[in-house]
Amino acid sequence: MHDLLLGQTLSFSGDPMREGPQAARHQRKGGVVIAEGRIVALGSADEMRAAYPQARLHDYGERLISPGFIDAHVHFPQTAIIASWGKRLIDWLNHYTFPEESRFGEADYATKIAARYVDLALSHGTTAMCSYCTIHPESVDAFFTEAQARGMRAFGGKTCMDRNAPDTLRDTAQTAYDQSKALLERWHGVDRLSYVITPRFTPTSSPEQLSALGALWGEHPDCLMQTHLSEQVDEIAWVRELYPQARDYLDTYEMHGLLGARGVYGHAIHLEQRERDRLCELGAGIAHCPTSNTFIGSGLFDMEGLSLGGARVGLATDTGGGSSFSMLRTMAAAYEIAQLRHNPLHPAQLWWLATQGAARALHAEHQIGNLAPGLEADLAVIDLHSTPAIAQRAAQAEEFWEALFPTIMMGDDRAIAGMWIGGRKLR
Ligand code: GUN
Ligand code: ZN
């Protein structure tokens, strides 16, 4: 049985960061055909109706059918401490984050928050994400179980820390390796789930732990590896004290086998030239987390240098350092940061960074992140008139991007008018 969704459609034929908005394809009266969990055809509504006359029709009218949003870096265990005020990174971790993350050894609590997080993400149009869990294997089981129950493509891993964290949140080099390996063997490749090797960041892992996780990655090179890099200047100074022999922050990962194209480095704001060049020449993944970068006071990400240089930049909420579950709000913050750097981003670029760009950062662009035949049918349907403020501005628009931009800048979960996960209609 085929499903045919009618509405405006937005897809990508190339990379708008390089090629500009002409790499985006908009159809005012478009159609998307889905069967057995995948997109099988995309075209004009008339063509699709003629080619699939038996398909079940879902008419979304003027609404926009988009690939579901993909969040390239989030901490689901920080759901309940989002919007905690008054601290910068290290104090914020010690004061808010570590006490909350200490609760996830209790499986019931981990499950409750994982379910809450996944449902909040879905309600904001996010169909896939790459999440940090906590040091507790229970938190990983909870995250994957809840994503699996909803049929989602999800990436995640146990956040390893063996120093500079409270007793309640420390493992060792050996238990980090053993537990990560056991979780990887349990979850990696099951349904739509992928295990991600996850050292939190250099300050909270001993050299032995970084080496052990580098070795695990070497044994499972098809896995992603995620960590944090050069988010705040105090953090970088701390890394320099811990590793006086390293060339720079990135080198602390490189010397332990934790640098590669399948690495997803969160933040990457205050980079040395060598670090920038290395990330770009490798085509490494970078998660740009703009609401977090302003909320925690980290700095202004160099979108142009990194994405044109060849790194795989995707957008991410970084909830709960980030201040929103919404990839629309995240696009707005990315726009604002780019404005402060005098490099404005086009709406097509913002939308791409939250869909196909994020998929590329996770090496999943052949599965998700676009409307194209063969890709998995994870879709978000967007109401471009979801509030009076947005509607009155969109009504003035003379072309599609102008009609879309008010939703990027002012939209939230009220703009999500429909959701499909793996070809299944949620609403
Ligand atoms: N660096 C290390 N851990 C974290 C975290 O949980 N959030 C953010 N924003 N930065 C980090
Ligand atoms: Zn983070």
Are residue 311 and residue 397 in the same domain, yes or no?
Answer: no
Last residue of a domain, one of 316, 332, 361: 361
Are residue 57 and residue 16 in the same domain, yes or no?
Answer: yes
Are residue 254 and residue 304 in the same domain, yes or no?
Answer: yes
Indicate which residue's Cα is closest to atom 7 of ligand 1.
321
CATH of the domain at 129: 3.20.20.140
Distance 36 CA to ligand 2 centre (A): 35
- Residue 275 Cβ inside 6 Å of ligand 1? The answer reads no
Distance 426 CA to ligand 2 centre (A): 29
Q: Is 106 helix (H, G, I), strand (E, B) or coil?
A: coil
Residues lying with their CB under 5 A of ligand 2, a single-atom ion: 266, 318
pLDDT digits over 296-316, tens only?
999 999 999 999 999 999 999
DSSP output for 35-64 = ETTEEEEEEEHHHHHHH-TTSEEEEEEEEE
Dihedral sign for Cα 47, 52, 53, 57, please: negative
Q: How many domains does the chain fold into?
A: 2
Indicate which residue's Cα is closest to atom 9 of ligand 1.
321
Q: What angle do CA 160, 203, 361 make, to 5 degrees?
A: 65
Are residue 51 and residue 120 in the same domain, yes or no?
Answer: no
Are residue 344 and residue 400 in the same domain, yes or no?
Answer: no
Position 90 confidence tier, pLDDT thresholds 50, 70, 90:
very high
CA distance 254 to 251: 5
Q: Residue 43: what pLDDT? A: 98
Position 105 confidence tier, pLDDT thresholds 50, 70, 90:
very high
Mutate which of 87, 97, 135, 291 for ligand 1 pocket (most atoms within 8 A of beta carbon): 97
Distance 191 CA to ligand 1 centre (A): 29
Position 155 confidence tier, pLDDT thresholds 50, 70, 90:
very high
Q: What's the complex ipTM?
A: 0.99
Are residue 346 and residue 248 in the same domain, yes or no?
Answer: yes
Are residue 338 and residue 381 in the same domain, yes or no?
Answer: no
pTM: 0.98
Phi, psi of 112 (to 5 degrees): -60, -45
Indicate which residue's Cα is closest to atom 11 of ligand 1.
228
- What is the extent of the structural domain holding 135? 69-361
Atom of ligand 1 nearest to the CA of 75: 6
Are residue 304 and residue 379 in the same domain, yes or no?
Answer: no
Other beta carbons within 10 Å of 220 = 18
162: alpha, beta or left, given left = phi > 0 and alpha = psi -120 to 50?
Answer: alpha
Nearest alpha-carbon partner for 308 in 276, 266, 354: 276
Give the CA diameter of the chain.
68
| Cβ proximity of 251 and 213 under 8 Å | no
DSSP output for 360-398 = HHTT-TTTSSS--TTSB--EEEE-TT-SHHHHHHHTT-S
Are residue 145 and residue 14 in the same domain, yes or no?
Answer: no
Are residue 235 and residue 321 in the same domain, yes or no?
Answer: yes
The answer to whether the peptide bond before residue 320 is cis (omega within 30 degrees of 0) is yes
pLDDT digits over 360-407, tens only?
999 999 999 999 999 999 999 999 999 999 999 999 999 999 999 999
Last residue of a domain, one of 310, 329, 361: 361
Indicate which residue's Cα is closest to atom 8 of ligand 1.
321
CATH of the domain at 382: 2.30.40.10
Are residue 392 and residue 291 in the same domain, yes or no?
Answer: no
Are residue 352 and residue 205 in the same domain, yes or no?
Answer: yes
Last residue of a domain, one of 323, 343, 361: 361
Integer Rg of the chain from CA: 21
